[in-house]
A and B are shown apart, each in its own frame.
Chain A
């Protein structure tokens, strides 16, 4: 009994000691965090964002080239550029490209480059659906979702001064590492909250540009109706919340906007004429 009491006392003492030590530990950790934040705070400015985006875009084009169809490429650029003009970053060097891949996906690259795959375009029915998807990708650029993720990840991948070297010297080895890291991020995806935010903003951007706001939800239902085991969907499903969850969230948060702008044009005929030939 006495032994037990002793043991209990020891345990208490240990706990007390641990509690006593914790604040110190936390302070150390906080100092580290502040140091890292101090480094991260050095914002990548717009010319740097655009330059990084160019290099990442070039790599993505190395994975899949553009569809060799000038009319289709110009059409998607017109839709995208019109959407981008309705946003708070209207004068970025926006450019839009259709990648020649049967995979169903779309990518937003820092600085204003947006890619959509032919596989996704083939499953759309009208321009409002295209506008919904491009609006989602444009929102990623506006909120710098990828840029922030690249910066955050690169900070730990590239120790110390390497990050500033990567930004300073556009031909150096550190730069190569940064861009490789930035490209690889598209195989891993963003935070779920970034994707859901891009959905909400994408709906608004399409509505501002005069399209039926239900374009993006329509595409999400198309994806939901596809077989989830289809290999063309693998990366999209790995890097995004499930279509059902995205639709539920849009329904919860965006129903009034969706309904207020549901009678705007869908432009099905123009879409079919430009895309399907």
Chain B
């Protein structure tokens, strides 16, 4: 039974994905720039990604585990993955078959370049789309429920 419970958590642990450090970067003890530096990872160091927390990613590297700046990592560069074989894709394709069942390919419709170029109007779906739209007040209430508060941020120059 305890083993079963462990199995349930396996998919989360299996998220470990290979990535490469794109420039020399500090491996930190905690996800903060003022935290202690465990080691300095050289450019092109291969790491295993364990977890993400906003701007930081927890990785397993040769010198040990720690946090690096999220944008210092490049994914999928190292070994050419098999089609759809990354942990994430696998996880999500399982999730997909679990929810909506089969994704039927009808052959006519679809979002490939050619199918878009030849698409014909669909007024019935357009009417549905308009029905689902919400107004500013409702959206503000929804934001408040999530404890989101608007804050002024300038566009970059």
Residues of A within 8 A of B (CB): 54-55, 57-67, 70, 73-74, 77-79, 81-82, 85-86, 90-91, 93-97, 99, 101-103, 105, 113, 117-118, 122-123, 127, 183-184, 186-188, 200-201, 204, 207-212, 214, 217-218, 221-222, 224-230, 234-235, 238, 244, 247, 250-251, 253-255, 257-259, 261-267, 270, 276-277
Contacts and interface: CB of A to CB of B under 8 A. Distances in A.
B116 A95 contact: no
Contact of B71 (A74, A210, A250, A267): A250
6 contacts: A58-B126, A62-B121, A82-B143, A209-B143, A221-B75, A261-B153
A265 B126 contact: no
A66 B88 contact: no
A254 B126 CA distance: 36
Contact of B148 (A65, A117, A209, A263): A209
A229 B111 contact: no
Interface in B38-87: 52, 54-55, 70-71, 73-76, 81-86
Given A82-B143, A183-B119, A230-B83, A63 B125 contact: no
A227 B143 contact: no
B139 A82 contact: yes
Interface of B: 17, 19, 52, 54-55, 70-71, 73-76, 81-86, 88-89, 92, 95-96, 99-100, 103, 109-117, 119-123, 125-126, 128-130, 132-136, 138-140, 142-143, 146-156
